[in-house]
Amino acid sequence: MTDAKKIKIALAGNPNSGKTSIFNALTGAHQKVANFPGVTVEKRIGHRRFNGYDITLVDLPGTYSLTAYSPDEKVAREFILEEKPDVVINVIDSGSLERSLYLTTQLIEMGVDLVVDLNMWDEICEAGIEIDVDKLSLLLGAPVVKTIGSRGQGVESLLESALVLAQNGQKIHHHPPVSYGPALDDLVNQLSGCVSACSGCSGCGQPRWLAVKLLEGDQEIKNKVLVPGNGVRELHETLDKSLAHLKKTTRDDPEIIVSEGRYGYVAGIVREVLKRPLTDRMRLSTQADNILTHRLLGYPIFFIIMWLIFEATFVLGQYPMDWIDSGVGWLQAAVAGILPATIWSNLIVDGIIGGVGAVIVFLPNIVILFLGIALLEDSGYMARAAFLMDRLMHFLGLHGKSFIPMLMGFGCSVPGIMAARTLESPRDRILTILLVPLMSCSARLPVYLLFAGAFFGATAGTVIFSMYLIGIIAAIAMARILQKTILPTETTPFVMELPPYRMPTGKSLLIHMWDRSKLYLHKMGGVILIASVVLWALGYFPRKTEFSIDYDTQIAQLQSGITESGDVTASEIARLENLKSAEELEYSYIGRLGEIIDPLVAPLGFNWQMGVALVPGFIAKEVVVSSLGVLYQMGETEDIGGLIKVLRHPEEGITPLAAYAYMIFVLLYTPCIATVVVIRKEIGWKWMWFSTVMQLILAWGGAFVIYQGGRLLGWG
Partner 1 sequence: MWGMNRHRHRAGVTRPRVIQEGQLILSDLRPGQKGKVISFNGNGPVRRRLMDLGIRSGEIIEMVRLAPLNDPLEINLNGGHITIRRSEAALVNVEVLGDSQA
Where along the sequence are the contacts to partner 1 (CB under 8 A)?
64-65, 67, 69, 95-96, 98-99, 102, 253, 255-256, 259-260, 263, 277, 280-282, 285-286, 289, 293-296, 298-299, 383, 386-388, 390-392, 394, 400, 491-498
Beta partners for 275? 130
Q: For residue 652, how many other CB atoms are within 10 A of its CB?
A: 15
* Shortest Å distance, C-beta 495 to partner 1: 4
- The C-alpha atoms of residue 321 and residue 308 are separated, in whole angstroms, by 18
User: Smallest gap, in angstroms, from Cβ of residue 120 to partner 1?
Assistant: 12
How many CA atoms lie within 13 Å of 83's alpha carbon, on the beta-carbon side? 19
Shortest Cβ distance from residue 293 to partner 1 (Å)? 7
Host H or E run for residue 43: strand 42-50
Distance CA 10, CA 526 (A): 31
Query: Could you tell me if 98 and 255 are in contact, meaning their C-beta atoms sit under 8 angstroms apart?
Result: no
Strands of the sheet with 6-13, listed across from one edge: 31-35, 42-50, 53-59, 6-13, 87-93, 114-119, 144-146
Nearer to partner 1, 131 or 631 (CB): 131
Minimum Å gap between C-beta 212 and partner 1 is 15
130 three-state secondary structure: strand
- Cβ distance to partner 1 smaller for residue 24 or 293: 293
Please, which residue, 218 or 583, has the CB nearer to partner 1? 218
Three-state SS for 91?
strand
Indicate the residue among 214 and 358 with the shorter CB distance to partner 1.
214
Name which of 279 and 326 has its Cβ closer to partner 1: 279
Distances (CA, A) of 485 to 179, 424, 430, 463, 537: 45, 21, 14, 32, 39
For helices 426-435 and 685-712, the axis angle rounded to 10 degrees is 40
| Residue closer to partner 1 (CB basis): 228 or 493 | 493
Instruction: Give the residue with the Cβ less far from partner 1, 129 or 434.
Output: 129
Q: How far is the CB of 295 from partner 1 (least distance, A)?
A: 5
Q: How far is the CB of 388 from partner 1 (least distance, A)?
A: 6
Whether 21 and 505 have beta carbons less than 8 Å apart is answered as yes
Choice between 51 and 287, CB closer to partner 1: 287
What's the closest the beta carbon of residue 385 comes to partner 1, in angstroms? 11
Partnered with residue 42 across adjacent β-strands are 35
* Cα 34–chain centre separation: 12
Closest CB to partner 1 among residues 115, 383: 383
Write down the H helix ranges in 279-402: 283-292, 298-311, 318-338, 343-346, 354-360, 363-379, 381-395
Nearest distance, CB of residue 419 and partner 1, angstroms:
21
Closer Cβ to partner 1, 106 or 365, answer by number: 106
Taking the complex as a whole, how short is the minimal distance between the CB of residue 299 and partner 1, in angstroms?
6
Question: What is the rounded distance in angstroms from the CA atom of residue 709 to the CA atom of residue 716?
Answer: 10
CA-CA distance, 349 to 343, in Å (whole number)? 10
Smallest gap from Cβ 670 to partner 1, in A, equals 35
The CA-CA-CA angle for residues 628, 629, 632, to 5°, reads: 80
Q: Which helix (H) or strand (E) holds 162?
A: helix 155-168
**Smallest distance, Å, CB 688 to partner 1?**
29
Burial of 651 (0-12, 13-18, 19+ CB in 10 A): exposed
- Least Å distance between CB 681 and partner 1? 29
Cis (ω within 30 of 0) for the bond into 599?
no
Q: What is the nearest approach in angstroms of partner 1 to the Cβ of residue 175?
A: 21
Query: In sequence order, what are the beta bridge partners of 13?
Result: 91
SS3 track for 373-442? HHHHHHHCHHHHHHHHHHHHHHHCCCCHHHHHHHHHHCCCHHHHHHHHHHCCCHHHHHHHHHHHHHCCCH
* Nearest CB to partner 1, comparing residues 64 and 536: 64
| Residue with smaller CB distance to partner 1, 70 or 161 | 70
Between strands 42-50 and 31-35, the pairing is antiparallel
Which lies closer to partner 1 via its Cβ, residue 69 or residue 319?
Answer: 69
| Contact present, 382 and 422 (Cβ < 8 Å) | yes
Question: What's the min distance (Å) between Cβ of 386 and partner 1?
Answer: 7
Contact present, 66 and 50 (Cβ < 8 Å): no
Answer positive or negative: Cα dihedral of 15, 18, 20, 22: negative
Smallest gap, in angstroms, from Cβ of residue 494 to partner 1?
5
Instruction: Tell me how far CA of residue 230 lies from CA of 118, 192, 199, 288, 494, in angstroms.
Output: 43, 15, 5, 62, 44
Q: Which is nearer to partner 1, 136 or 646 (CB)?
A: 136
Cβ-based nearer residue to partner 1, 17 or 609: 17
